[in-house]
Structure 1
């Protein structure tokens, strides 16, 4: 059997072998970060020495600062090339700017420069009557919009997603950014163009990289974890107050089993204890064979009947 038939094409084989070589450091065990991502998978990046098994993205700020100090020492001794150091510093500067934008979206700066595609984006916005001048947006919103244009109009051609960004997402971002501070009214041509020239990434960075993730469809994210056990509220359900619907159901359950549960309710010290007793009885009657509901109801019965 030809071993190459296990791959769909040469690009598939190349990416497979490159990933294997990156994650296999001698022996049979693969050394990867392993942090769970938003897609429900596990991070396959290589861990850094200071991260206790995590990569630079998931290691935390203290490990990231120690990693930078080691890179700086490697630059002094020649183990780290100037190109590698400059790429790492550019990424750190972009991350610092992104964190600063969370507090002040009107802080000047940019992390992407569309170059020749900037005029194409502005013409598209003007033709759709969405925005007259992108320079009137907060720098954080303008930078976010440029990244979306690169994803859906340069790296891909996804008109539906681009339309959704302009109609649904952009107004929400503009509203969240708020009005410009004093002295920033009107287009700020010089500041934005200077920030764009100092941006970190351009569309040409990955033009020759056919394996770029931006050319692939967006992965499906796993639904967020919601705490609770079926009661429709966040937090521990046995300690949460009952709404009108649940309270009416518990009162009906009390009227049906008043002879059994009435004496135990009289021994309860607080309203929270009475509510917990009725909820335990409801769960037990709903499924008497469920171990947790059965154990909770029996423990309450033994406690209240012995007092």
Structure 2
């Protein structure tokens, strides 16, 4: 039967195995246009979805991708708003940034602000979350009250705290004088030793609510069976906190730490409204220094270079934190 079939023009198994694969499998070059045609046909069928996505993609392309590329282009030019000549300077802006003492001081001020605000915000937020995770009367109202500053615009908060710090009619000086803690009003925002701690205090107060809510979500995701088993084994409250709560909140802590450092390195509103970078540049942070370079000195090329320097610092910090977390988790 096989021989008859082969004689009639059929193909035996041996012959089919001996034939080259190119006779049956299409060439890769021909497959690519075919796949492209299938994709285009699918896009035509789903044209309404792309129509709805088009505004968002257009905005993202213009205000993110194009802006990022143009900012990178500016870093290689001496781009001034008031001068018509936009000279190409190569890497000169980057060399100037590396030797700029004012930029170095702004980085130190930002690090001071970060070290003073982020840890205290997270610690107080964790303490409030642990407290308000208990079945207390009116805890819903308390959670709302603590979270309200986190959703209030920073401009409003900065103006209110600027009034509180005022040396003539501020409430802080009023109550400190009434309590005989101080003999004369303190110039919180004009004293070079008090200006940055004053801004840090305001930032911690306004950011505690966000940390509290995030920690509350993490606490409510911990199984209650773990605490019950620990109680049966005789573990006290501190032991449960140390061996159950804190380890299981590690991803939440990492999230708040990364977001806190990124946010603190981008601090601007408090500085702009409350101190304007003073006194004697003690509160000039990196973003405020970028603002000065761009909109006071009109050096858009150098300001773009500083912005990319800030991005590099944030990228390094984030990579280090993620690598440390993965090392501890493994």
Global fold match (TM > 0.5): no
TM-score by length of 2: 0.21
* Structure with the larger RCO, 1 or 2 (CA within 8 Å, 6+ apart): 2
The TM-score, its normalising length taken from structure 1, stands at 0.22
